[in-house]
A and B are shown apart, each in its own frame.
Chain A
Amino acid sequence: MAEPVISMRDVTIRFGSLVANDKVSLDIEKGEIMALLGENGAGKSTLMKILYGLYMRESGEITVDGKAMPRKFSPSDAIGLGIGMVPQHFMLVDSFSVAENIVLGEEQKASRLLLNKEKIFSMVEPLCKEFGIDVSPRQKVENLPLGVKQKIEILKALFRQTKILILDEPTTVLTPQEVDELFKMLRSLQKKGLTVVIITHKMHEVLAVTDRITVMRHGKHIATFNTADTNTQELARTMVGKDVASVHVEQSDAPLGEPSFVIDRVNTPPSEDRCNLKDFCLKLYPGKVVGVAGIDGNGQTELVEVLTGVRRMHSGSITAGGNTITENTTDSMRRLGIGVIPEDRIEQGLVMEFCVRDNIMMGYKGDPRFERHGIFRMKAVDRYVDELVGKYDVRPARRSAVCRYISGGNQQKVVLARELERPALQAVVASQPVRGLDVGAIQFTHQTLLRLRGEDKSILLVSSDLDEIKSLSDYIAVIRDGRIVAFKKADEFSKDEIGLYMSGAIADEGCAV
């Protein structure tokens, strides 16, 4: 075995009372691809941010190339030692060219005082060629696909002579094809002698590309596996700390009946920075889950906003239960019987300073069971909220718990309890319903959706996680540039094919529903 290029011993860091890293020890060997695997909040990003000089550890030792690091050092010290980090959210200047972005911050390598653009281009060109980026270094970053943007981020690191490359959740925004490309690139970097660390929570990917996998949980180092000797079950168990049964839809071959919910040629006003819906059509069926797959920013957000009623559609109609509406207000959508789980529960789903009860009551405006002339009937309210808190297993089981101080999973349960227990619920729109949740809460959320499927509700699942869509959906629709470009039965729709539709490699099939 090779010499460890990075060795961390008993590294501890606290944020307030939260121990984000608890005596974590980790060796990273030269020339390996290692994955740091763990759920959200397991402390993997934190650990790497300590290594990159973004956080200061409280105790513990770190050696890089045999050299002990002081407790306090800056990212530029880390870069000097050959450590590079590609952040989860890319930090590129849109109006700069590819080459300018790569050189940014290191311009002195190209020129002393005045910027010599030609020299920059000529310096970057071979780098781009070497790693198979087929766009011109002169092109602006603005409109490039996310996969290319990520490669630019990696090149940025390589330009700074990086020997140890850290990637934070690199695949969340990529299509399956782009993920393959990325992994190819990582392997070729490995051949050139680089060490790669991938921070991720996706097990399938780490099995595909890594040499070793380190699992973290609750800020602790749990185990390190050789990729060849492990499998998904073992990894999942180690990640969560207990056996997890994944939730799957049993698909039936029964033909689709009458649609219960029809979105017909909906348009939203175009805006400069966001993708609008263009003649958007989609039908939902009782007892079926329709998954909407697509690269982020292709109209998913707008779709959910239209179905919530916070973004007006300027033409088109929505029909449910025999009622057709052309003006979508929050009230009219609610009358259609839609429950919405918005993509961002903190910003859109909850008032964080409100307690569980108040957040739930927000969803029952004008319900005569809970208010009379606008005054709450507190006894009925409390009784009902207690019932929901029990049914959805919200912890702590107190209606007066302030939502900011309960865990993400429990916050989501509050949203579920409010949205899914409406009288006359017809359809559920769930947007990224498990983003940022721990495994237990993911399971609960998925089971809840499938319970409603069993109760013949129509379910629309919007997610950027293809695995989630594949395992939960009866039908999969692909959204691109504000419209549905493909609609197929889930088990007949391969991941690769979905990816081709997502990226536009297979052309639009029009209103394919």
Chain B
Amino acid sequence: MKLSSDKKARLKWKSLDVLYVLVSILLALVAGGVFILITGNNPLQAYGIMFSKAFSSFGQVLRRATVYILTGLAVSIPIKTGVINMGGEGQVAAGALTAAVLGSAFMLPLGIHPIACMLGAMITGAVLALIPAVFKTRFGSSEVVTGIMVNYLVQYLLQYLSMYTFRGSANSAQTAEVFDSAKIARVGDAQWSYGLFIAIALCFAMHFVMSRTRVGLEMQSAGLNPLAARYQGVNVGRMSMLAMALGGAMAGLGGSLEVLGGRYLYLDTYFASYGFDGIAVSYMAKNNPIMIIITAMFISVLKVGAVALDRQTNVSVHFSTALQGIFIILLVSPYIVQAIVAKLKPKRKAQLTAEE
């Protein structure tokens, strides 16, 4: 009896959350429609182009989503611990370069090579993420500001490295292609690789860590109430460093999966905006690792669709970014959506007040 009502309550909350996200998406699409109208296009037609493109090349959607899932995790783990990882942008690119270099510099046995590349990428990401974390716990400086600054450092460093040190092409700033032994197999003839499964598995792993382990409990307590956490003996500083390192590793891994299973090389600026989009992915999922799988897909659909939109109409490819922005504004101003959700369910509300 008790358990079933318990489960019901939880289900109700979950479904409310989903409804919440769905309403936000709908509102964002409506608002985006107004923008499209202003550009002189038919919104319905434009959305039609976007979504049909996204579904006709779903492989591309999945390939991008692989990275988004991991840059999303890169934000959600730290944020649950009370620190904000703004450095995803640098971490994902630096991880990608690391993987490309390790994959093209030498040969390793088939199974081991990609793993070595991924591990290298994760370490790179973790080290980069630790910079703002250490500055925060040691000197109290804002991890947001330091994180963004580190992004710039990394951006130009990577430009230099891909242009000179590891340049593998005569024409552009890119590395050589990784050896076959380092590649992650594509699924059939599709665009996407088995890397997607690694990303999804990590979502479930992170969910497990957060809900079933001591370290997950401590990380979340540090994020939700650092004082109470300290009273229970949690080392809040160490937890934020751990969370940042984990997040950085996720972003680095994301970069490496695109290199090993998609592009096969590192190309300068290729990874631009993947890290920042991770913030949106995590935010839309309310930082829930499982929900991230869905929101990463959604962002990916928008991005892939926007490219088609750009090609076939005069709506710019940046339209997807605008949509994303509107969407996030709606999510951070819960009252707008709450009011609408409440109106959608007038009967239920009346029922509730009657029960009281």
**B contact residues around A350 at 8 Å (CB):** 225, 228
Q: Is A493 an interface residue (CB 8 A)?
A: no
Chain A, interface size category, equals 20 to 34
**A contact residues around B227 at 8 Å (CB):** 347-348
Chain A residue, CB-CB nearest to B231: A348
Q: Is B165 an interface residue (CB 8 A)?
A: no
A309 to B2 alpha-carbon distance, docked (Å): 39
Q: Is B224 an interface residue (CB 8 A)?
A: yes
**B contact residues around A342 at 8 Å (CB):** 231
**B contact residues around A397 at 8 Å (CB):** 2
Return the CB mask of A321-358 against B: 1 if under 8 Å, else 0: 00000000111001000001010000111111110001
Which residues of A are interface residues toward B (Cβ below 8 A)?
17, 308-310, 329-331, 334, 340, 342, 347-354, 358, 361-363, 365-366, 371, 374-376, 378, 397-398, 400
B258: min CB distance to chain A, Å: 32
A362 touches B221 (CB 8 A): yes
19 example contacts (A-B, Cβ-Cβ < 8 A) are as follows A330-B232, A330-B233, A331-B233, A334-B233, A342-B231, A347-B225, A348-B231, A351-B229, A352-B224, A358-B217, A361-B217, A362-B228, A362-B229, A366-B214, A371-B213, A374-B215, A375-B213, A376-B214, A398-B2
Chain B, interface size category, equals 20 to 34
The one of A358, A362, A365, A400 that contacts B6, using a Cβ cutoff of 8 Å: A400
A351 touches B225 (CB 8 A): yes
A370: min CB distance to chain B, Å: 9
Q: A358-B217, A358-B221, A362-B234 are in contact. List 7 more A-B contacts (CB 8 A).
A: A347-B225, A347-B228, A348-B228, A353-B225, A354-B224, A362-B221, A362-B232
A376 touches B213 (CB 8 A): yes
A215: min CB distance to chain B, Å: 25
From known contacts A351-B225, A398-B2, infer whether A374 and B213 are also in contact, taking CB-CB under 8 Å: yes
B6 touches A376 (CB 8 A): no
A218 to B356 alpha-carbon distance, docked (Å): 15
A374 touches B214 (CB 8 A): yes
**B contact residues around A353 at 8 Å (CB):** 224-225
A97 to B217 alpha-carbon distance, docked (Å): 50
A340 touches B212 (CB 8 A): no
Q: Is B238 an interface residue (CB 8 A)?
A: no
A315 to B48 alpha-carbon distance, docked (Å): 73
B230 touches A330 (CB 8 A): yes
From known contacts A330-B231, A330-B232, infer whether A352 and B225 are also in contact, taking CB-CB under 8 Å: yes
Q: Which 3 A-B pairs have the closest CB atoms?
A: A330-B233, A362-B232, A374-B214
B221 touches A351 (CB 8 A): yes
**B contact residues around A347 at 8 Å (CB):** 225, 227-228
**A contact residues around B6 at 8 Å (CB):** 398, 400
A180: min CB distance to chain B, Å: 37
Q: Is B10 an interface residue (CB 8 A)?
A: yes
A345: min CB distance to chain B, Å: 9
A353 to B221 alpha-carbon distance, docked (Å): 9
Within 1-41 of B, Cβ neighbours of A (below 8 Å) are at 2, 6, 10
A337: min CB distance to chain B, Å: 14
A400 to B2 alpha-carbon distance, docked (Å): 11
**A contact residues around B356 at 8 Å (CB):** 17
A480 to B234 alpha-carbon distance, docked (Å): 31
**A contact residues around B214 at 8 Å (CB):** 365-366, 371, 374-376
